[in-house]
Amino acid sequence: MNETHDPLLRSWVESANSADNDFPIQNLPFGVFRPAGSAMEHRGGVAIGDQVLDLKAACKSGVFAGSALEAATLAAQPSLNALMALGPEAASALRHALSGLLREGAAQQTTLESALVPRSAIELALPAQIGDYTDFYTSIHHATAVGRLFRPDQPLMPNYRWLPVGYHGRSSSIVVSGQQFARPVGQRPAAAPGGQPSMGRSERLDYELELGVFIGAGNALGERIGIDEADGHIFGLCLLNDWSARDLQAWEYQPLGPFLGKNFATTISPWIVSLEALEPFRTAWLRAADDVQPLPYLDSASVRRSGAFDIQLETWIETAAMRAAGDGPTRLSQSNFRHAYWNVAQMLAHHTINGCNLRSGDLLGTGTQSGPDAAEAGSLLELSRGGKHPVSLPDGEQRRFLEDGDEIILRGHCRRPGAARIGFGEARGRLLPARS
């Protein structure tokens, strides 16, 4: 905690001072953008209220110096990988400089006003070149609910309570918010045991409410990241929707795990919220005394004290009918990342315990974040109990799984007394009909 977290700080960017704004001066998330409809090169920016500070233009204005200038110069590039690679000290130096430059009464206001671009006038790109993508399964509530659908006598596999389960995904199909994609086609299970599988469009298309974790400084091949060193290798968090074709997934995942049922689309929010911005919302990571306790490499006093994050997560849906009627989206569910059975530091410690090297810009997914109550489910698979109990929407429509034209919107924010509200923006994606 430091002066950048002061809830009384106000910005001369007036829109950043509203109570429900995602991007107050205490947030300052990083992204990559260019003016909408232009052929200009993408460049790094920082969201502040309803504006974006163009870091390339800010650097030219001469407002940065020292380590903040070095960090700002790298952050102004078409991807944030070079800034990520410098580690948390560089990003923190830039954050502190930006906090001073953008706060109310700053002498540089007149200089920087010309470097602001309205967020409504930009198009966003992936904030980093993502080399590798690993998706975890950190919510025991999600794992148990899904397990009960398929293995009523053994919802959790024997390894679940001992390690953060994960699989390697496909980075090439990760797209920033606003993505539209065609319903996937593939093999589906046979109608009767032992029968021939069918080939066609997925009929059980689902979303997954997740967070994404961007790696900052990496580790060399053969080296491990200790659990108390993990924060130094994390650049920040975003929202993540790991779209899932449940029927394709059910047929193909044994014995090697997810494949075509997962790799056709993943949507992330465009702004990366730094761990430093989330510092006021750390909370204790709890493991009940009568539960299995982590092995030593996954455990530490500091992680138990403050290894979890109090991040409120929401899923909204806008169907084609809602859009046509001008009704706007409706909320399907809400949950909180503090319920996760495994935390972010444990994900990194386990990922590298065998010497696996993580690189700057790599992305880790937390897995679907469901809460202890049925209404806190992070997927339609859970909300509809495997498609057997359709979810009723306010306009009279029902959903077992997603239909063509449905748009899913993920939102997230942190809020507590004595701290400024920190938001993540949105991760939007729309399902289009399958290609013929």
What would the pLDDT profile of 264-299 be if each residue is shown by its tens digit?
Answer: 999 999 999 999 999 999 999 999 999 999 999 999
Is 79 in the same domain as 143?
A: no
CA nearest to 183, candidates 240, 133, 244, 126: 244
Find the angle CA(87)-CA(90)-CA(94) to the nearest 5 degrees: 140
131 contacts 359 by C-beta, under 8 angstroms: yes
Q: Pick out the chain residues at pLDDT < 50.
A: none
Structure tokens belonging to residue 422:
């920190």
Q: Do 363 and 276 reside in the same domain of the chain?
A: yes
Q: Is the same domain home to 284 and 411?
A: yes
pLDDT at 216: 98
State which of 125, 157, 190 marks the end of a domain: 125
As beta bridge partners, residue 214 has 236, 363
The reply to whether 48 and 196 lie within a common domain is: no
99, 125, 151 - which closes a domain? 125
Q: How many domains does the chain have?
A: 2
Query: Is 141 found in the same domain as 107?
Result: no
The pLDDT tens digits for 321-331 are 999 999 999 99
* Residue where the block lists tokens 């502190």: 96
The residue range of the domain holding 16 is: 3-125
Asked which of 91, 125, 159 is the last residue of a domain, the reply is: 125
Q: What is the pTM of this model?
A: 0.97
Q: What is the helix, strand, coil percentage profile of the chain, to 5? A: 25, 25, 45
- Which of 21, 5, 8 lies closest to 105, judged by CA? 8
List, by residue number, the catalytic residues. Answer: 142
Same domain, 161 and 64: no
Specify the CATH number for the domain of residue 159: 3.90.850.10
165 with 281, same domain: the answer is yes
Question: Can you give the CATH number for the domain in which 77 is found?
Answer: 2.30.30.230
Looking at the structure, do residues 100 and 185 belong to the same domain, yes or no? no
**249 shares its domain with 103:** no
**Are 327 and 406 members of one domain?**
yes
Task: Tell me the CA distances in angstroms from 64 to 67, 118, 138, 247, one per residue in order.
Answer: 9, 22, 40, 53
Residue 393: name the closest of 301, 318, 337 by CA: 318
Residues 119 and 144 in one domain: no
Q: In this predicted structure, what is the pLDDT of residue 254?
A: 87
* Beta strand pairing call for 116-118 and 391-392: unpaired
Burial of 152 by CB count in 10 Å (0-12 exposed, 13-18 middle, 19+ buried)? exposed
* 103 and 222 within one domain: no
Distance CA 339, CA 94 (A): 32
Helices (H) and strands (E) in the chain, counts: 11, 26
Can the peptide bond before residue 158 be classed as cis, meaning omega within 30 degrees of 0? no
